[in-house]
Amino acid sequence: MRTSGMSDKTITIDMPDAGSIGTEITAIGNAPEPIRNAEGRIALSERVGHCKRVLKQITCLFADSKKAASDAHKAICAAEKRLTDPINDFIGRANSRLWDYDAEQERKRRDEEARLLREAEEKADAERKRLASIAARCKDTEKKEAYQQAAEAVQVSIPTLAPAQDKAKGEVRQTRWVAELTDIQAVIKAAAAGDVNACSCLAFDQSNADSMARMFRRDGVVTGVRFAEKVTIQHRG
């Protein structure tokens, strides 16, 4: 295989000839026959052992080519990284500045909304008091009730300010929700109480559980988790 890059250097990788091992692969045959007796089991197990030895030969056959390809890939990636690292570093720093600025603008927007809301509540409260005061002075029963109802019906106009849209051409802003574990005991209690959402947040670490099973070598260690022996058949090549 020959690969030409940005420079005049050419990477050459010699692929091995697998024809010499083709007869070994052909001799393995197709799907194994059903086992009918002990001799058949031994024969099939021997064939599996033979397959493992052939696999080892194939691995050895391609070892040099794989190493050459790996070395070439590492060299290409290193050359690429020398060019991309300064750019990615700038992008990371620039995005941090952009995020900080946007967060500050969003804080100011929310503060302004809160100020406007306070003003609106004060105005609504003043209007209620004004109408209630008029109602208190009214001698006419119908007018009195009308002013009282008007006072009760005063609504607060909730202000909403649009977020800043000062983004460059090609910039895409994405918002996503993320989960953060804050109290594992609270999650466990909620799951124990039947909260299905909390249950989905309890992760079963298979690797860690398997390590515990190998350490204890018996069942009944953890409630709700079964430690059992699992037999696998392996053949050395």
> Does one domain contain both 193 and 124?
no
* Phi, psi for 153 (deg, rounded to 5): -85, -5
Residues 38, 108: one domain? yes
Biggest CA pair distance of the chain: 115
Number of other CB atoms surrounding residue 184 within 10 Å: 10
Residue 91 sits in the same domain as residue 29: yes
Looking at the fold, whether 119 and 185 belong to one and the same domain comes out as no
Q: What is the pLDDT of residue 204?
A: 83
* Boundaries of domain holding 34: 9-13+15-152
What pLDDT score was predicted for residue 16?
75
| Same domain, residue pair 133 and 208 | no
For residues 135 and 195, membership in a common domain is answered with: no
Beta carbons of 72 and 80 less than 8 angstroms apart:
no
Question: Which amino acid does the sequence have at 229?
Answer: E
- Residue 140 shares a structural domain with residue 188: no
Q: What confidence category does residue 157 fall into, taking pLDDT thresholds of 50, 70 and 90?
A: confident
| Cα–Cα distances in angstroms (integers) from residue 226 to residues 25, 80, 230, in the given order | 41, 49, 12
Closest CA to 152 of 161, 160, 144: 144
Res 139: pLDDT: 87
CA-nearest of 68, 15, 26, 82 to 50 is 26
In a domain, 162, yes or no: no
pTM greater than the 0.75 cutoff: no
Lowest mean pLDDT among 74-78, 162-166, 177-181: 162-166
Give a yes or no: residue 170 inside a domain: no
Whether residues 199 and 117 share a domain: the answer is no
Domain stop point among 152, 171, 197? 152
Q: What is the mean pLDDT of residues 79-86?
A: 96
If asked whether residues 61 and 127 sit together in one domain, one would say: yes
pLDDT band at 94 (very low <50, low <70, confident <90, very high): very high
What is the domain count for the chain?
A: 2
Looking at the domain assignment, is residue 69 inside a domain?
A: yes
What is the distance between the alpha carbons of residues 78 and 22, in angstroms, rounded to a whole number? 37
Lowest mean pLDDT among 4-18, 36-50, 207-221: 4-18
* Confidence tier at 120 by pLDDT (50, 70, 90): very high
Shared-domain flag, residues 124 and 192? no
Q: How far is CA 136 from CA 17, 39, 145, 154, in A?
A: 105, 108, 10, 17
Average pLDDT over residues 160-178: 82
Query: How far is the CA of 35 from the CAs of 27, 118, 200, 213, in angstroms?
Result: 19, 84, 44, 33
53 and 103 co-located in one domain: yes
State the pLDDT at residue 99. Answer: 87
Quick check: is 31 in a domain? yes
If asked whether residues 37 and 74 sit together in one domain, one would say yes
**13 has a pLDDT exceeding 80:** no
Give the model's pLDDT for residue 42.
93
Looking at per-residue confidence, does 204 or 120 come out higher? 120
